[in-house]
């Protein structure tokens, strides 16, 4: 049966129903409220907006979680758990050598994706943000030894006894999870109870960091937490849990575009999981917050007053500038490269640029090919990118399946061509790609789609004609710093 928008929305409703039933089951089976809440919301599980699979497939496929595979997975993570426990003990013992100086701070800031937010390249927040402590979650062994993650510093916020207690709690919580999974054998819940997520190592890692974070806030008498972890993430849910537990303010920076068809943004159905206050930089995000019953007191909309629109300022010349934006999805990227190669051969007067997704994987062959055919702007500062395209009076096109970045460069005169035919992704971003730019479906015949793209590129006029109501504004560090200085006046989330 061919997938359509209605079946997508229907599967979302079923998915949310499963989540609610599973949440109630956790609460009924696990008497300790923190343990049940922790397992349901603070340990990562199957991504709601999985980038590589359709929701419909999840409901129809048989579970491949065989007993042998499950056993091997649990053994692997058990070994990781004991190893990490021993490393944590060693780091803690070594930490006693160093003198601990505790000063009161106002902010705890977690910006793991700094350059995703700011104009300036390579912002060092530790040197720039005063009266604050920077925090970053760790997810693996490698993270423990990264200086920027500061695990060896945050270890001072937990005692040896508490480390052993978290060891004990990990075993208890894992046992509780196994009991729940054993009782809830229904196939429709198996995809939510994934041993890759609910394992000794992941549980211990989260328990340790939640404790460190809470103790750090108490020790330094921190009043405000600020993070650009997306509300869909487990990190954001941990911040929200701690802000409730310690009665402090939590502000979430959303510098990407959010959409109403993403399950993670169904705020109104479970407000306890989501921040009370948001810093946003797009009218689209205002629209989604309002749909979820947030008022204007629950967000601060940043607008770059110096931003200018360079649309229709002059008649474009005959040269075509194309920017290809890659995603995390290998199938999408392979088709994008195919289109790039085709357009490069079919159009003579063309300049080609491309931008990698920071979490995507690209093998050496692909990288070498792109390096020879086009200009990589992935590591350019936003200021530099702006200067390149402001001076460019070509017909400017951006081609991608979806990227929030598109909305940050619309003011430079780019017309989006959205590639469709990738299953649920077509519906996931429907409310923010609809009626803006041109949609090309690759599902039926890739060659015909490529010919259609070339035909569009050769048109005389390709400028945007509608208002850019969804465009996003970049934030300069001085704007961020000004926001911090005026935070108490701006914030009204509670």
Q: Is residue 344 in some structural domain?
A: yes
CB 485 within 8 A of CB 241: no
Work out the pLDDT band at 379, boundaries 50, 70, 90. Answer: confident
Q: Could you write out the DSSP letters of every residue in 113-180?
A: TGGGTBSSSS--HHHH--SEEE-----SHHHHT-GGG-HHHHGGGS-HHHHHHHHHHHHHHHHHHHHH
| Same-domain check for residues 251 and 119 | yes
Average pLDDT of 359-376? 85
Same domain, 340 and 234: no
- Does residue 470 contact residue 283 with C-beta atoms inside 8 Å? yes
Give the distance from CA 408 to its chain's centroid: 17
**Same domain for 82 and 207?**
yes
Query: 346 or 359, which is more confident?
Result: 346
Burial of 314 (0-12, 13-18, 19+ CB in 10 A): exposed
- Whether residues 250 and 328 share a domain: the answer is no
Asked whether residue 159 carries a pLDDT value surpassing 90, the answer given is: yes
CATH code of residue 78: 3.40.50
pLDDT on residue 235: 93
Give 473's Cβ-side CA count (13 Å radius).
20
Tell me the per-residue pLDDT of 34-82, one tens digit each, with 9 for 90 and over. Answer: 999 999 989 875 444 443 444 445 444 544 555 667 778 788 889 999 9
Q: Quick count: other Cβ atoms within 10 Å of Cβ 100?
A: 10
- 152 and 255 housed in the same domain: yes
Q: 92 burial class (0-12, 13-18, 19+ CB within 10 angstroms)?
A: middle
Residues 154 and 282 in one domain: yes
The pLDDT tens digits of the residues spanning 196-222 come to: 788 999 999 999 999 999 999 999 999
In a domain, 116, yes or no: yes
| Residue 206 included in any domain | yes
Chain mean pLDDT for the chain = 83
- The number of domains in the chain is 2
Query: Of the ranges 12-16, 57-61, 184-188, 286-290, which is most confident?
Result: 286-290
pLDDT of residue 359: 75
Asked whether residue 223 is domain-assigned, the answer is: yes
Q: In this predicted model, which residue has the larger pLDDT, 10 or 190? A: 10
pTM for the model stands at 0.87
What was the pLDDT predicted at 467? 53
**pLDDT attached to residue 48:** 46
Q: For the domain that residue 453 is a member of, what is the CATH number?
A: 3.40.50.2000
- pLDDT class of 246 with cuts at 50, 70, 90: very high
Secondary structure class of 291 (helix, strand, coil) = helix
Q: Answer whether residue 60 is part of any domain.
A: no
Q: How far apart are CA 432 and CA 338, in angstroms?
A: 25
Query: What was the pLDDT predicted at 22?
Result: 86
Residue 378 lies in a domain: yes
Percent of the chain with pLDDT over 70: 86
- Based on the fold, state whether residues 156 and 197 are members of the same structural domain: yes
Residue range 424-448, pLDDT digits in tens: 777 888 888 877 888 888 877 888 9
State the average pLDDT over residues 392-403.
86
249, 330: one domain = no
Distances (CA, A) of 420 to 110, 130, 408, 439, 449: 35, 45, 21, 7, 10
On whether the CB atoms of residues 222 and 107 are closer than 8 A, the answer is yes
Band (pLDDT 50/70/90 cuts) for residue 279 is: very high
Find the radius of gyration of the CA atoms of the chain: 24
Distance of CA 129 to the CA centre of its chain: 23
209, 286: one domain: yes
In a domain? residue 155:
yes
465 vs 200, higher pLDDT:
200
259 and 336 housed in the same domain: no
Question: Does 139 score more than 80 pLDDT?
Answer: yes
Answer with the residue of higher pLDDT: 120 or 213: 213
Lowest mean pLDDT among 15-24, 102-111, 342-351: 15-24
Residue 493's pLDDT is: 57
- Does 373 share its domain with 434? yes
Residues 6+ apart with CB under 8 A from 184: 22, 25, 193
Residue 1, both tokens: 């049966």
Domain assignment present for residue 331? The answer is yes
Looking at residue 473, its pLDDT comes to 76
Q: Identify the band that residue 460 occupies on the pLDDT scale cut at 50, 70 and 90.
A: low
Is residue 433 domain-shared with residue 480, that is, in the same domain?
no
Domain that holds residue 399: 320-457
Average pLDDT over residues 169-194: 83
Neighbouring-strand partners of residue 472: 282
List the single range of 78-82, 366-370, 489-493 with lowest mean pLDDT: 489-493
Position with higher pLDDT, 236 vs 232 = 236
Alpha carbons 108 and 209: distance in angstroms, whole number: 14
Residue 167, pLDDT > 60, answer yes
Spatial strand order of the sheet with 249-254 comes to 132-134, 107-110, 224-227, 249-254, 277-280, 299-301
Q: What is the pLDDT of residue 462?
A: 62
Instruction: Give yes or no for residue 10 having a pLDDT over 70.
Output: yes
DSSP structure string for 25-86:
HHHHH--SHHHHHIIIIIS--S-TT-TTS-HHHHHHSPP---HHHHHHHHHHHHHHHHHHHH
Residue 353 pLDDT > 90, yes or no? yes
- What CA–CA distance (Å, rounded) separates 482 from 478? 6
CA distance linking residue 384 with residue 404, whole number of Å: 19
Residue 233, pLDDT above cutoff 50? yes
């Amino acid at each position: 049966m061919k997938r359509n928008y209605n079946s997508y929305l229907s599967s979302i409703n079923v998915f949310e129903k499963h989540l609610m039933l599973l949440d109630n089951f956790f609460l009924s089976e696990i008497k300790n409220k923190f343990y049940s809440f922790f397992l349901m919301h603070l340990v990562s599980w199957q991504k709601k907006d999985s980038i590589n699979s359709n929701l419909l497939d999840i409901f129809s496929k048989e579970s491949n979680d065989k007993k042998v595979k499950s056993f091997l997975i649990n053994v692997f993570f058990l070994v990781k758990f004991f190893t990490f426990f021993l490393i944590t003990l060693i780091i803690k013992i070594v930490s006693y050598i160093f003198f601990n100086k505790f000063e009161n701070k106002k902010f705890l800031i977690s910006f793991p994706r700094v350059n995703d937010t700011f104009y300036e390249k390579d912002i060092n927040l530790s040197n720039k943000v005063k009266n604050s402590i920077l925090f970053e979650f760790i997810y693996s062994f490698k993270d423990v030894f990264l200086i920027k993650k500061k695990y060896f510093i945050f270890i001072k916020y937990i005692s040896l006894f508490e480390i052993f207690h978290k060891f004990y709690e990990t075993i208890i919580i894992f046992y509780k999870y196994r009991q729940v999974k054993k009782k809830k054998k229904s196939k429709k819940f198996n995809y939510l109870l994934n041993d890759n997520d609910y394992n000794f190592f992941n549980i211990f890692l989260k328990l340790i960091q939640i404790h460190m974070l809470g103790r750090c806030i108490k020790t330094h008498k921190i009043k405000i937490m600020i993070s650009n972890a997306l509300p869909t993430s487990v990190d954001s849910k941990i911040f929200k849990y701690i802000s409730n537990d310690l009665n402090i303010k939590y502000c979430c920076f959303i510098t990407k575009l959010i959409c109403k068809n993403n399950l993670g943004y169904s705020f109104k159905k479970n407000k306890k999981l989501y921040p009370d206050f948001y810093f946003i930089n797009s009218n689209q995000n205002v629209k989604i917050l309002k749909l979820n019953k947030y008022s204007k007191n629950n967000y601060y909309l940043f607008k770059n007053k110096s931003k200018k629109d360079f649309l229709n300022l002059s008649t474009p010349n005959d040269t075509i500038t194309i920017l290809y934006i890659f995603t995390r999805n290998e199938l999408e990227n392979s088709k994008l490269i195919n289109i790039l190669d085709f357009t490069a051969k079919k159009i003579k007067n063309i300049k080609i640029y491309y931008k990698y997704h920071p979490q995507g994987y690209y093998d050496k062959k692909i990288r070498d090919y792109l390096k020879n055919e086009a200009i990589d702007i992935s590591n350019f500062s936003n200021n530099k990118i702006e200067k390149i395209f402001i001076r460019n009076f070509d017909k400017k096109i951006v081609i991608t399946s979806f990227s929030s970045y598109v909305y940050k460069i619309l003011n430079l005169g780019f017309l989006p061509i959205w590639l469709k035919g990738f299953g649920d992704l077509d519906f996931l971003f429907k409310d923010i790609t609809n009626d803006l730019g041109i949609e090309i479906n690759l599902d039926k015949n890739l060659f015909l789609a490529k010919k259609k793209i070339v035909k569009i590129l050769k048109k005389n006029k390709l400028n945007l004609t509608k208002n850019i109501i969804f465009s996003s504004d970049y934030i300069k560090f001085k704007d961020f710093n000004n926001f911090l200085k005026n935070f108490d006046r701006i914030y009204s989330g509670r």
